[in-house]
Amino acid sequence: MRKSYRFLSGADNADFCQRVSDALADGYVLYGNPVMVMDKDIRVVLQAFILPEMIVTTTNFADQERSNDR
């Protein structure tokens, strides 16, 4: 079973870019904004991913709430 949420972090280099590309190719979508921080002289990037079926829209959430009330 695949995880519904992934969080990648690493130095901003070709390896990290490939890991992001692999996650996208595996069907994950970007979730939220990327974060970049400096650790000494290394730029570290962090990015969250979720599976598309984990996206809950306001309409879907309202429908779920109504069905739970029955």
- List the Cα angle 26/24/19 in 5-degree steps: 95
Predicted confidence (pLDDT) at residue 66 exceeds the cutoff of 90: no
pLDDT > 90 in the chain, percent? 70
| Mean per-residue pLDDT over the chain, rounded | 88
Task: Give the domain extent around 43.
Answer: 5-69
Predicted confidence (pLDDT) per residue in 29-56, tens digit: 999 999 999 999 999 999 999 999 888 7
Q: What is the pLDDT of residue 35?
A: 96
Answering whether pTM is above 0.85, one says no
Residue 6 and residue 23 in contact, taking contact as beta carbons nearer than 8 Å:
yes
Q: What is the pLDDT of residue 63?
A: 64
Q: What's the total number of domains in the chain?
A: 1
Beta strands in the chain (DSSP E): 5-11, 29-39, 42-50
Give the closest residue to 51 by CA, choosing from 1, 12, 14: 1
